[in-house]
Amino acid sequence: MDKMEVGLCLTNKCTNADAEAMIDFAGRYVGKGNATLHSITASCTELDRVAPDAGSVVACVLLSILILLVLIATAIHPGKEAQEAQTPMEHAVKAEDVASGLTNALLPVSQHPQEEEGQAAAFGTATVKVLRQSKFVMAFSLITNFEKMMGSPQEMKTDSLNGMRVISMLWIILGHTFLMPEAIAGYSNPEDVVGSFGAVQGWWFQIIVGAEIGVDTFFFLSGFLLCYLTMKDLHKLKISGAIIYRYLRLTPSLVFAMMFYYKISMFIGDGPFFARFQNSVFRRCDKSWWTEPLYIFNFYPTSSDDLCMGWTWYLGDDFIFFIITLPLMLLAGSNKRHGWIALVVICVSSTVVTGFLVLHYDLGVYVFNSQYTQYSFYAYSKPYTRIPAYLIGVGAAWLALDYDLASVSSVLSYYTSGERIRMHIANLVAMVLLVVIVVCPLGNFQDPASWGKLENLLFICFARIVWSCSLSVLTFSCMVGMLPQINRLLSLRMFVPLARLTYGAYLWHPIIIKWSAGVSTSYYYFDTQSLLARLALNSLLAFSCSAIQFLLVERPMLSLTILMIKGKKKEAPKEEPPPPAVARNGA
């Protein structure tokens, strides 16, 4: 049964029931029986709009407190001269602490007379000194946290992963820019998408719908960086402490984004689709918001469509993979052969389970029919179907450490000509496979009936494995200098701050896309130019919101977490690696 949607401009005396009666009358009498209408429903933003509740007030108060803390900490932040002039009696600051930007936790008292005088006038000299000595308050200093966000670390062999991370994030935003507005504003020209001469007939459309595999790039990067940076100091690893630290590292930003999405953005804006936007959020979040900070949303609610922030399934999977990988690394540290066996067994088991689900439920990758709906429910976001990409990253890190790729200074002197030729061939094959994985479903989109169970089985089970293995080859080549141009491009310094913001950008870009659709005054129109324009705007806003979140929540909470872990130690700790797939090069 086809669905039709029309917009009406009525007087403020009309209700939803009146609008439904008018449409029913038009179908019965004006259309003279040529139109048979069923399930008529009407919605009006003025009538259906939900007013702010107590939770919204609490959210605004908490946001105001965060902003106030940032303003106070920034206003009393000691100047550079004051920090250089501090005496050993005030704080024992190590040179490496200053270099690493951790002086926000040490909070020396300003020795600059003019600055002290100005701040004393605003707060009082005693108050300024007390606040500066409060590590909690000074963790919110905008000056320190902005320097941490924009600072460039020492060059590393894995710098190319910064560019890989940012490009993958932009690719994911592209896919969601196309897909997410459909449930709120929708497109006025769907025939230009799925029609016989629509976009689905072109290979370039696969770049849009193929963006989902960009998530597997993040899984690969997470596993690789976690293992690559941890195996060297495996004797220091404490599983319980690592899990607690990771939870404290990720959760504040997640909760902050959910708070804004669920309790603030819902009441900012207007338009014919705004009530639908509100309903799409309240329908989910009212029942499942509490599953977000517990990271159980991959199992409850059972349907990803009932999840408060459906796109956060990635975080739940990543957290589970992190927990699984910790004992796996300890096993490999004691016996590398046993570690490899365990890794292969998990990957094979996951592939078998995925294959069973594809065959049993007839799952498919064509995004515009019921097969994909079933795929999303049974397999797409489940950790037991997505873990191979993560573990391939772990295995790639083991190989990189075993062959000591970080010590390769010159390809010409380290590898023979035959080895270099084989590496060039491997790089070429890897690049071709990456392209094939993206465009392979083209035939299925041109003719959905052309792919049966076998084709869907092979693609769903093995595409992500091939993708991750190809990324491993290219990562190795960038590390040893076999792809100097690509490595130079992906290692550009501009990617460093953007890579730090990818975690926040992942959390915020769906909020921006959905809210923009909610405040739209007309249906979206699908064409390449409009899509790219929305992509540029969504990307800009997503990274901007991520930067704000970094300064308000993410970096301050990281500083406080480090202080909490270190307890009453006077010396500032060396910064722990940030979370996977969002840090500059950290696990």
Q: Cα(86)–Cα(419) distance, rounded to whole angstroms? A: 56
What whole-number percentage of the chain has pLDDT above 70? 83
Which spans in 481-580 are helix H?
484-490, 495-500, 502-518, 528-549, 555-566
Reported as a single tens digit per residue, the pLDDT across 124-136 is 566 656 666 678 8
Mean of the pLDDT values across residues 554-561? 93
Which spans in 264-335 are helix H?
274-288, 291-294, 313-334
pLDDT of residue 79: 64
Mean of the pLDDT values across residues 289-307? 90
Reported as a pLDDT band with limits 50, 70 and 90, residue 9 is confident
What whole-number percentage of the chain has pLDDT above 90? 65
Reported as a pLDDT band with limits 50, 70 and 90, residue 137 is confident
pLDDT of residue 30: 59
Reported as a pLDDT band with limits 50, 70 and 90, residue 485 is very high
Cβ count within 10 A of residue 412: 9
Do 446 and 501 lie in one domain? The reply is yes
Q: Residue 102 pLDDT more than 50?
A: no
The domain containing residue 182 runs over which residues? 160-556
Q: Is residue 361 part of a domain?
A: yes
Q: Is residue 492 part of a domain?
A: yes
Q: Residue 88 pLDDT more than 70?
A: no
Reported as a single tens digit per residue, the pLDDT across 60-71 is 999 999 999 999
List the one residue out of 576, 554, 555 whose CA is nearest residue 565: 576
147-172 in b/e form (b: 16+ CB < 10 A) is ebbeeeeeeebbbbbbbbbbbbbbbb
Reported as a pLDDT band with limits 50, 70 and 90, residue 113 is very low
What does the angle CA 175 – CA 284 – CA 514 come to, to the nearest 5 degrees?
Answer: 35
Q: Is residue 39 part of a domain?
A: no
Q: Residue 546 pLDDT more than 60?
A: yes
pLDDT of residue 124: 56
pLDDT of residue 50: 83
pLDDT of residue 109: 33
| DSSP 8-state assignment for residue 367 | T
Q: Is residue 38 part of a domain?
A: no
| Average pLDDT score, the chain | 85
Reported as a single tens digit per residue, the pLDDT across 410-456 is 666 677 888 889 999 999 999 999 999 999 999 999 999 999 999 99
List the one residue out of 32, 295, 10 whose CA is nearest residue 21: 10
Reported as a pLDDT band with limits 50, 70 and 90, residue 327 is very high
Q: What is the CA radius of gyration of the chain?
A: 27
Q: Residue 35 pLDDT more than 80?
A: no
Here the contacts of 92-96 (C-beta below 8 Å, separation 24 or greater) are 92/570, 92/571, 93/572, 94/571, 94/572, 96/574
Q: Cα(24)–Cα(551) distance, rounded to whole angstroms? A: 53
Do 457 and 350 lie in one domain? The reply is yes
Write phi, then psi, for 187 (nearest 5 degrees).
-110, 140
Do 86 and 117 lie in one domain? The reply is yes
Mean of the pLDDT values across residues 186-202? 91
Q: Residue 334 pLDDT more than 50?
A: yes
List the one residue out of 487, 441, 433 whose CA is nearest residue 465: 433
Do 374 and 434 lie in one domain? The reply is yes
pLDDT of residue 387: 97
Phi-psi region of 186 (alpha: psi -120 to 50; beta: other; left: phi over 0): left
Cβ count within 10 A of residue 40: 12
As for how many domains the chain has, the answer is: 2
Q: How far apart are the first and last CA of the chain?
A: 49
Reported as a single tens digit per residue, the pLDDT across 199-227 is 999 999 999 999 999 999 999 999 999 99
| DSSP 8-state assignment for residue 11 | -
Q: Cα(91)–Cα(97) distance, rounded to whole angstroms? A: 12
Do 182 and 116 lie in one domain? The reply is no
Do residues 405 and 476 make contact, with C-beta atoms less than 8 angstroms apart? Answer: yes
Q: How many helices (H) and strands (E) are present in the chain, helices listed first?
A: 29, 0
Do 107 and 246 lie in one domain? The reply is no
Do residues 423 and 415 make contact, with C-beta atoms less than 8 angstroms apart? Answer: yes
> Whole-prediction pTM value?
0.86
Q: Which residues, in sequence order, are bridge partners of residue 187?
A: 524
Q: Residue 571 pLDDT more than 90?
A: no
Do 221 and 364 lie in one domain? The reply is yes
pLDDT of residue 96: 32
| DSSP 8-state assignment for residue 378 | I
Do 396 and 527 lie in one domain? The reply is yes
Q: Is residue 305 part of a domain?
A: yes
pLDDT of residue 506: 98
pLDDT of residue 301: 87
Q: Is residue 50 part of a domain?
A: no
List the one residue out of 573, 366, 506, 382 whose CA is nearest residue 450: 366
List the one residue out of 46, 1, 5, 41 whose CA is nearest residue 24: 41
Do 218 and 288 lie in one domain? The reply is yes
List the one residue out of 287, 446, 291, 425 whose CA is nearest residue 366: 446
| DSSP 8-state assignment for residue 432 | H
Of residues 546 and 157, which shows the higher confidence score? 546
Reported as a pLDDT band with limits 50, 70 and 90, residue 153 is confident
**Highest mean pLDDT: which range of 41-45, 275-279, 544-548:** 544-548
CB-based burial of residue 576 (10 Å sphere; 0-12 exposed, 13-18 middle, 19+ buried)? Answer: middle
**Taking the alpha carbons of 226, 231, 233, 239 in that order, is the dihedral positive or negative?**
positive
Do 133 and 172 lie in one domain? The reply is no
Length of the chain: 587
pLDDT of residue 448: 92
List the one residue out of 16, 95, 1, 581 whose CA is nearest residue 314: 581
Q: Is residue 512 part of a domain?
A: yes
Do 190 and 135 lie in one domain? The reply is no
Mean of the pLDDT values across residues 182-204? 91
Reported as a pLDDT band with limits 50, 70 and 90, residue 47 is low
Q: Residue 363 pLDDT more than 80?
A: yes
Mean of the pLDDT values across residues 362-379? 92
Q: Cα(340)–Cα(219) distance, rounded to whole angstroms? A: 18
Out of 140, 169, 185, a domain closes at 140
Mean of the pLDDT values across residues 25-50? 68
Do 443 and 498 lie in one domain? The reply is yes
Q: Is residue 568 part of a domain?
A: no
| DSSP 8-state assignment for residue 198 | S
Q: Cα(563)–Cα(63) distance, rounded to whole angstroms? A: 23
